[in-house]
Amino acid sequence: MKARLPVLAAALWWGSLTAIGFMAVPLLFANASSPAVAGQLAARLFTAQTYLSLGCGLVLLYTTRLQGWVLAGLILDLLIEFAAAPRIRARENLALWHGAGTAMYALQWLCALVVLWKLSRGSASSPTSASASPS
């Protein structure tokens, strides 16, 4: 189990980003009673996603040598939660911050995908076999 922990963490990270960002939130906006209600619920989902991503990222930092990709994803995660999200909630320059948050979420999704892809190939599950930074 310990040897498969990095793959499990990467799959949970990427899968949760996919499920929330590309399924749950669009469904909220399509079906909620108003965009305001959907936005409030989406904000809660994204906050929960932040902490799930941090947990998965910490596991990955300690169990793989893909620190560059993991750190990039985690920095994006924190920027979304603590830089973009408060401005979106305050409706401060909404188009700019929503666009920036969306772009950062997509980049985080790509970082998680790269980590999962490399780990599922088996080339990065041991601490000595993977590159330490994005290439």
**Residue written as tokens 């560059």?**
68
Query: Is the residue at 132 inside a domain?
Result: no
Q: What is the mean pLDDT of residues 14-21?
A: 98
Q: What is the mean pLDDT of residues 38-43?
A: 96
How confident is the model over 45-101, as pLDDT tens digits? 999 999 999 999 999 999 999 999 999 999 999 999 999 999 999 999 999 999 999
Query: Is the residue at 126 inside a domain?
Result: no
Sign of CA dihedral 113, 14, 132, 102: positive
Q: How far apart are CA 105 and CA 108, in angstroms?
A: 5
Q: How many CB atoms lie within 10 A of CB 96?
A: 12
Q: Residue 18 belongs to what domain range?
A: 2-120
Q: Between helices 5-19 and 35-63, what is the axis angle to 10°?
A: 170
Distances (CA, A) of 23 to 19, 28, 126: 5, 9, 33
Query: Is the residue at 130 inside a domain?
Result: no
Work out the pLDDT band at 43, boundaries 50, 70, 90: very high
Q: What is the pLDDT of residue 118?
A: 96
Radius of gyration in angstroms for the set of CA atoms belonging to the chain, rounded to a whole number: 16
82: domain CATH number is 1.20.120
Q: What pTM value is reported for the model?
A: 0.86
Query: Is the residue at 112 inside a domain?
Result: yes
Query: Is the residue at 70 inside a domain?
Result: yes
Q: What is the pLDDT of residue 121?
A: 87
User: Total domain count for the chain?
Assistant: 1
Query: Is the residue at 131 inside a domain?
Result: no
Q: What is the pLDDT of residue 102?
A: 97
Query: Is the residue at 134 inside a domain?
Result: no
How confident is the model over 99-131, as pLDDT tens digits? 999 999 999 999 999 999 999 986 544 544 444
Query: Is the residue at 127 inside a domain?
Result: no
Q: What is the pLDDT of residue 95?
A: 95
Work out the pLDDT band at 134, boundaries 50, 70, 90: low
Q: What is the pLDDT of residue 2?
A: 80
Q: Which helix (H) or strand (E) holds 42?
A: helix 35-63
- For residues 6-45, b (16+ Cβ closer than 10 Å) or e, as one string? bbebbbbbbebbeebbeebbeebeeeeeeeeebbeebbeb
What amino acid is encoded at 129 in this protein? S
